[in-house]
Structure 1
Amino acid sequence: MSQKKHPLGKGSSFSLDFTYSFWWNLILITVGSIIAGIGLRSLAVPYQFMPGGIFGLASLIFYKTGILSPGWIYLILNVPLFVFAWIKVSKRFFWYSAYATLATTGFYELINIPMHVDNQLYACVACGLITGFGSGVVLRSLGSNGGLDVIAVYLYQRFNIGIGKVYIIFNAVIFSLSFYELSLDLIIASLILVFISAMIVDKTLSLFNQRKVVFIISDKAEEISNDVLHKLKQSGTFIKGIGAYTKQERDILMTVVNNVQLKKLEEIAFSHDANVLFIVENTFSVVGSSFSKRKVY
């Protein structure tokens, strides 16, 4: 298997130079915390929803006792988790996550934008969209939203336990406890909120990162590769293959492109060979080379 190098070398990764830099992380965390704080303050707590995670537990304590506010309870509950992050994950992860938690608490307490939504279903949907997007923006950094994210990241790195599984188990416990405090309508609305929020987090994390893996089988693979290199400024890899029917050896061109480049690549391939076999696969993440940098907490 041989690989064609990008003709522009490392220059093509210029746009990635700022990725995961200190200030870029602070911007992501700050913006995400503002958005999440607004969603929690304006919709989750006024409607007594359970957002899930540690903030969900903080909300349940607030609904039950009325002491402090969900923001301050959330901050207090995070203290032992941050001690855990300092010891078990990394110092950098600790500082970024601690800042995210402080920012979320601060913005929750300081920013109050009333959102008068009469329908409970509409309110939980809107809350899920806002908080999910805010949380996703924070998770694009080298930190986290604090709370359950700290445990989830550790279990994922140490035991390869999926982050989603950790949330499912924890939220199942929280919602089980909430049956004694909240009405069934509120619990159902909260479940919808958590589901939508989780979906939006995934969409936000994959934003600008989704790629297409393309396999091009053609007798004109070399010519197509040259156009991919010079017109799309994209690298490619030749994989040796043997036709099942003809038993002839041929080169299979594999390349990775984004959604915008995909149509241009298709035009290049079929302009050289009307009988080309053009195979496209979705991929969630491509790390390395001129694509996304590997995230190390």
Structure 2
Amino acid sequence: MEKQKIYREVKSYLMLTLSLCIASIGWSAFIIPAGIVGGGITGLASTFHFLWGWDVGLVSISINAILIILAIKMLGFSFGIKSIYCIILFGILLSVLTRYFKTPLTEDTFMSTLIGSSLAGTGGGLIFINGGSTGGTDIIAMIINKYKNISLGRLLLLCDVFIIFTGYFVFQNIEIVMYGFITMAIFGYAVDLVITGNKQTVQLFIISEKYKRIADSIIAKTEKGCTILDGIGAYTGDEKKVLMVISKKRTSTILFRIIKDIDPDAFVTMGTVSGVYGRGFDQLKV
């Protein structure tokens, strides 16, 4: 059991190292040498680099160190070893690679934006999957949220928007700002794509008089389980049976075909589920 735990941890750190390499190449070989100010602490460090030639990696580590100390003091925040490892290694990689890549690997600015943010987002998503974090503006957002009643999502967006707009004061060019927003959008999409990927799960609620036939058919044809819930119509007061089914999104069309064949008038809702843990799905991770 102890060997399995050690093996799992070693594998996790190897994946984190690979993920950090991918993310740092995206920033150092494409985004930063193209003169683009992205979001997050790396984007802010890039601004200082463009203004005064400061080392991106060292500035990134320094800012994150200050934020972590503030978070511990003001929020009682606890950072795991993996997060500390990611922050330090990411800063070192940025410091080394930005000195090596003086010009972007592609001459077209838009391609640098596209490739760089895709790599950075892919690396970021892999870091999250393996339990790591590169710190950043989420710490700032949490500190502000403690004293101001503003949602974390809005605060993160405001922080990134502010950082990206600093690019205008550096280059006096609105195109750079737009490239920064494109970088932020692609980065976010790539992170979500990596985290969800083909594992994206949906939850179906099915209301039908023929619920038993539908449930039996789903179990027989898809080998998926169903949960039968008791429901009462708020307007009519009638008692209804509600089927709840969890499925991978790519196989949901089979479920719809089954439902349509048995009861075309069934009432069905489908929603995306951010995480499903248990037998047949992902393992519960803490």
TM over 0.5: yes
Confirm whether residue 198 of structure 1 aligns to residue 185 of structure 2.
no
Which residue among 48, 54, 58 is the counterpart of 2:35?
48
2:203 aligned to which of 210, 213, 234: 213
Q: What's the C-alpha RMSD, in Å, of the aligned pairs?
A: 3.5
1:36 is matched with 23
Is the contact made by 1:34 and 1:103 (CA closer than 8 Å) also made in structure 2? Answer: no
Partner of 2:46: 59
Paired AA for residue 207 in structure 2:
I
State the number of aligned residues.
275
What does residue range 116-265 of structure 1 map to in structure 2 within 5 Å? Answer: 116-152=105-141, 162-184=151-173, 185-241=175-231, 249-265=239-255
SS at structure 2 position matched to 1:181: helix
Relative CO higher for 1 or 2, CA cutoff 8 Å, sep ≥ 6? Answer: 1
**Percent identity between the two aligned chains:** 24
> Larger helix proportion, structure 1 or 2?
2
CA gap of 1:73–1:256, structure 2 versus 1, over 3 A, is same
After superposition, where does 1:3-42 map in structure 2 within 5 Å? 22-23=9-10, 25-42=12-29
User: Within 2, Cα distance between the matches of 1:72 and 1:115?
Assistant: 21
2:66 is equivalent to residue 96 of structure 1: no
**1:258-288 CA deviation, whole Å, 9 max, x = no partner?**
12331232343345x1435152423141344
Opposite residue 31 of structure 1, the aligned amino acid is L
Cα contact 2:24–2:90 (8 A) shared by 1: yes
TM-score normalised over the length of structure 1: 0.76
Aligned letter for 1:193?
T
TM-score when scaled to structure 2? 0.79
Question: Is 2:43–2:163's contact at 8 Å kept on the other side of the alignment?
Answer: yes
Gaps of at least 5 residues in structure 1 are 1-16
Task: In structure 1, give the amino acid aligned to 2:125.
Answer: G
1:14 corresponding residue in structure 2 = none
Displacement after TM superposition at 1:55 (Å): 1.0
What is the CA distance between 1:162 and its match in structure 2? 4.5
Deviations 1:43-70 (A, max 9, x none): 1121111122111111111111113x21
Is the Cα–Cα contact under 8 Å of residues 216 and 276 in structure 1 kept in the other structure? Answer: no
1:248–1:45 CA distance, 2 compared to 1 (3 A): closer
1:28/1:140 contact within 8 Å kept: no
Are residues 23 and 163 of structure 1, via their aligned partners in 2, closer, same or farther at CA, if it must alter by over 3 Å?
farther
